[in-house]
Chain A
Amino acid sequence: MFKDVLAKYDFEDTRKFIHSRTERDVELALGADKVDEAHFAALLSPAAVKYLEPMAAEAHSITKRRFGNTIKIYAPLYLSNECTNSCKYCGFNHKNDIPRIILSDEQIKQETDIIHNMGIRHILLVTGESPKKVGTDYLINSVNIMKDKFNSVCIEVYPMSVEDYSLMYSHGVDGLTMFQETYNRTKYADVHPAGMKRDFEWRLGGPERGAEAGFRTIGLGALMGLEEFRTDQFFLGLHAHYLIKNYWKTHISISFPRIRKASGNFQVHEIVDDVSYVQMTLAHRLFQHDLGINISTRESAEFRNNLLPLGVTQMSAGSKTEPGGYSNENEGKQFEVEDKRSVEEFCNMIRSKGYDPVMKDWDRSFLSGE
């Protein structure tokens, strides 16, 4: 299990190792036939900032060869912001005074009609963590309401057992997203003071339980700004690498969420600037050539435009981050969306840069029985 891999590393020692990498280490990594763990650490290090251009050229070339000129488009649908957790950085923190919503069947139909009409065919269902109010029955019912409108339905919800993930898979969910937030246990405990999410290992094992249950795609991420980001990105890379090695039929992708404004005014550990953000995406691409790289609407329109050729394979568009937000924008967002362009505007930008926005890259018939 990945927890056994993680147990071999000390967070602080790893941080020191990454920060001690020299320009020579970076040059060796850039010249390597196969980027290994130590090379990856060098590419994540402050010393590699000078080498962003050659890293970008290589990342562009690898991505073009493996994924072509295509960007998969998806949108999130927030089903509920009910949450029992007290995560210090999250707008859904149960102590925050926001209207709590669980979408009704009718509201789900309304929201999904709007998203479908925008041309979206890959949807990500998001909830807070409140399994008693928003449990597997609710999710299965939601999937049944919407699945004819979408080619792919993925979930970003609380961690489940293999049995529950299998149940989701059998009802037409083909992918799972589960962010570990930080791989530092001490910091994890600090920012998750109460609620189910306090259980570091249960969450850490979520992606492998999902892969065990048969999910075709698994998305990982660390919330940049919670901890020393280079070290967290190193462990994220190891996590992805572990899953690729052990679950050879599942495609792994990663996201790079940066903490944005949300209810609660959380003070970030450090600001992750655009240069660092780009460096992290490039380092991951050079480490694992076939990894999916996902950029959400948390990032600004201009920044997303510029990120396109740097290894990105999938992007969200037209997103709303509060339940019911596609029908009526309201209070209770998980975070502020920075790129507010419509799906059409966004896709036109992608085309103008010589890429093909792919609305369908999956077929429901892979899962549905006859």
Chain B
Amino acid sequence: MFNNELVIDGRKFRSRLMVGTGKFSNSDTMAKAIEASGAEIVTVAMRRVDINNPADDILKHIKPDKYLLLPNTSGARDAEEAVRLARIARAAGCEPWIKLEVTPDPYYLLPDPIETFKAAEILVKEGFKVLPYINADPVLCKRLEEIGTVTVMPLGAPIGSNKGIKTTDNLRIIIEQAKIPVVVDAGIGAPSHAALAIEMGADSVLVNTAIATARNPVRMAEAFRLGVDAAVAARDAGMPGQRDKAEASSPLTGFLRN
């Protein structure tokens, strides 16, 4: 069987798919979709949950023995707000893992590279495992890696757009250069998009809108699991590279060795 393992900061996860919890029609559907996705890392917006209350409708469906609850700082407009949210999550008993989102623009929710970097510096020093959501900027990725973030999470397209991987060229550079896992976050709207990211060499993908707003979110979560697994299997199997010219499957010069 192929190896589907994702390792972040020494911690092993069996799935390369991460899922979000926003936009579902109810928490039951969300829980079933998470289960069907096979994901072990589940991100939750701090602004949506009552983090001090385990009976909160979203939190009660994410069992700590089964999933890594990854609080995110969505809604934070600057580094200070993001850091404050991260500290609150940790104080409430969450593991010190944080998906860092600093999105001052409420419309496209594009990440602010400067404030994200500032917040990452502070949080890494405080002992957080920081997974920063960023634009597909190869230099920023290296800068974040240098200060000790445990992943980088470049976007494929704006959040919720379902447009797929629109940042291919930069993602290739990021993947080639990175020494830490690259998680393609945002814009993934179909299992084929997720598969493409993994086939390109990304270590993981994060999906929310495409699952949560599907006609059948549970079935779609399963489709994403299969899509990611297929891409991982393809990588394991050794995908032949692309060629500009035809290459005969029976070599034309084979007779020379006969």
Contact among A248, A290, A361, A365 with B85 in the assembled complex (CB-CB below 8 Å) = A365
- Asked if B223 lies at the interface with its beta carbon under 8 angstroms from chain A, I say no
- Complex Cα distance, B159 from A67, in Å, reads 11
Interface residues on B, range: 20 to 34
With beta carbons under 8 angstroms apart, the residue of A69, A244, A248, A365 that contacts B24 is A69
Q: Across the interface, do A250 and B84 meet the contact criterion of CB distance under 8 Å?
A: no
B25–A356 touching, CB < 8 Å:
yes
Q: Which residue of A65, A68, A358, A363 has the most chain B CB atoms within 10 A of its CB atom?
A: A363
**Hey, which bits of chain A sit against chain B, CB under 8 A?**
64-70, 151, 216, 244, 248-251, 290, 351, 354-356, 358, 360-363, 365-366, 370
A362-B75 in contact given A67-B23, A68-B22, A70-B23 (Cβ < 8 Å): yes
Contact assessment for A68 and B162 in the assembled complex, using a CB-CB cutoff below 8 Å: no
Residues A69 and B50 in contact, CB atoms below 8 Å apart: no
Instruction: Evaluate contact between B47 and A69: CB separation under 8 angstroms.
Output: no
Supposing A69-B23, A69-B212 touch, asked if A361 and B77 sit within 8 A by C-beta, the answer is no
Q: Return the chain A residue nearest B76 by Cβ.
A: A366
Interchain Cβ contacts under 8 Å between A and B, 23 examples: A64-B213, A68-B209, A69-B24, A69-B25, A69-B212, A70-B22, A70-B23, A151-B47, A216-B77, A216-B106, A248-B104, A249-B106, A251-B106, A251-B107, A351-B26, A354-B26, A356-B25, A360-B49, A361-B47, A362-B75, A366-B77, A366-B85, A370-B84
Min C-beta distance of B107 to chain A, whole Å: 4
Which residues of A sit under 8 angstroms from B49, Cβ to Cβ?
A: 360
Interface of A is mostly: loop
Residues of B that sit less than 8 Å from A by CB: 22-27, 46-50, 75-77, 81, 84-85, 88, 104-107, 160-162, 209, 212-213
Bound-state CA distance A263–B71 (Å) is: 49
Most buried by B among A69, A151, A244: A69
The distance from the CB of B164 to the nearest CB of chain A, in whole angstroms, is 14
Residues of A within 8 A of B107 (CB): 244, 248, 251, 290
Instruction: State in angstroms the CA–CA spacing of A361 and B105 once bound together.
Output: 16
Q: Which residues of the other chain, B, contact A216 by a CB distance below 8 angstroms?
A: 77, 106
B77–A249 contact, CB under 8 A?
Answer: yes
Give Cα A180–Cα B27 distance, bound, in whole angstroms. 38
Do B47 and A360 touch across chains, with their CB atoms under 8 A apart? yes
Bound Cα distance from A207 to B25, whole angstroms: 32
Contact of A355 among B25, B50, B81, B88 (CB under 8 A): B25
Q: Which of A244, A361, A370 contacts B48 (CB 8 A)?
A: A361
| Other-chain residue from B24, B27, B213 in contact with A65 (beta carbon distance below 8 A) | B213
Establish whether residues A363 and B160, one from each chain, have CB atoms under 8 Å apart when the complex forms. no
